[in-house]
Structure 1
Amino acid sequence: ARNGFVVNGALLLDHDEDKLANVLPRPNAVTNRPWAVLGVLNGDYPRLHICDRTVTFGRSPDCVVQLDDVHISHKHCTIERDGNNGSALVVNHSSNGTYVNSRRIEGTATLSEGDDVVLLFDRIDGAMHGKALLGQQRVVDGRGYPVLVGYRVISVNLLA
C-alpha cells in the first residue's frame, strides 16, 4: 500500500523498520535473529525480518501482515521455515492465487534469494500490462508484470 501497511494492527510508514520488531508477535520465534528478510516491492517500506516459524499474510485481523484489499483473501498465504532443512516456503491459501516469479503456485513453493512473491497483480482491462503506474511509481516484478502487493526475498536461511 502506498500509504503504509498494517502489521499486527499497527500502521507502518516509510522508515518505520525499527518499529517492526516491536509489532510482530513472537510466540513461535525460532530465534531472536531473522531467518529470512523480505523487501516490499511497491514502495520504500520497512523490510520484513522474519523470526517466527510462520508469518501469515491476508485481510484477517489474525494475520501478522494485514493487507486491506478486497482481492486479498482473509488468509492469503503464509511464509514459513521448513523444520527439516531450514528452507523458506510460501504456501498459497487463496483461490485468487499467490505467485512466485510471475507463476501461480499450487500448494507450496520453495523460496530463494531474489524471488518475487506477489499476492496481487495490477490488472488493466482484464490483462496485465508492464506500464501500470501506482501514483508516479512504476511497480513491476522481476519479469515486468505490474504489482499491487508483493515482496522480494532479500535473504533466506540466515540461521544455517
Structure 2
Amino acid sequence: MRFSLIHGYGMYAREAISATEYVYEYTGAMVSQDEAERRGLIYDTRDTSYLFDLNEDAVLDALRCGSKSKFINHDGEVPNCTAKVVSVCGVHHITIWALRNIAVGEELVFDYGYKRSVGPDWSQRRAASKDSKDSSCYEVITGLLCQSPNYLMTHSTSSNNRRRNI
C-alpha cells in the first residue's frame, strides 16, 4: 500500500499475479442498505468511501475495519481486477480476481460500476468521454464447496493455491 496517482492510497502487487487468479477478499463491517446510504452521504463530503454492496440487503463498510483490499482504486477504463460475490456455505463474500497478468509493483484497480452522473467526483477524474456503464460490474458465483472456514484463502482458479502476498 502506498500513495496512488488515482486517489489517496492504492494497493500494489508485491508479486506477479496471473490472469484469473484470486487476489484478495474485500472485508468490512456489515451494515444495512439504509445505514450505508446514511454513511455514504457523510463519506461523500470527505471525498472517500469504502462501501461495497454485498447483496440486496447488506453492504460492507471497510472504513474502520476491513482488509487492505479497501485501497484498491477505481478505474473504469482499464481495470486489471474484477470483484465477484461468492457464496460459501450460504455466506456471501466479496472477492477480488485478476482480469489479466499483473506485474510486480502495478497498482490493483477495478471498475466500481459508477455511472458517470452518479459516482463521486474523484471517481470520474480519469474517465474518458464514454457513456454510463451498466451497474452489473461484478459477478455472483454460488455453489462453491464448503470445505473449510478458510476456503477463500486456500483456493483459487489457478494452480497457485497460496494466499496472495500483497
Q: Assess same fold via TM > 0.5.
A: no
Q: Which has the higher contact order (CA 8 A, sep 6+)?
A: 2
Query: Which structure dedicates a bigger proportion of its chain to strand?
Result: 1
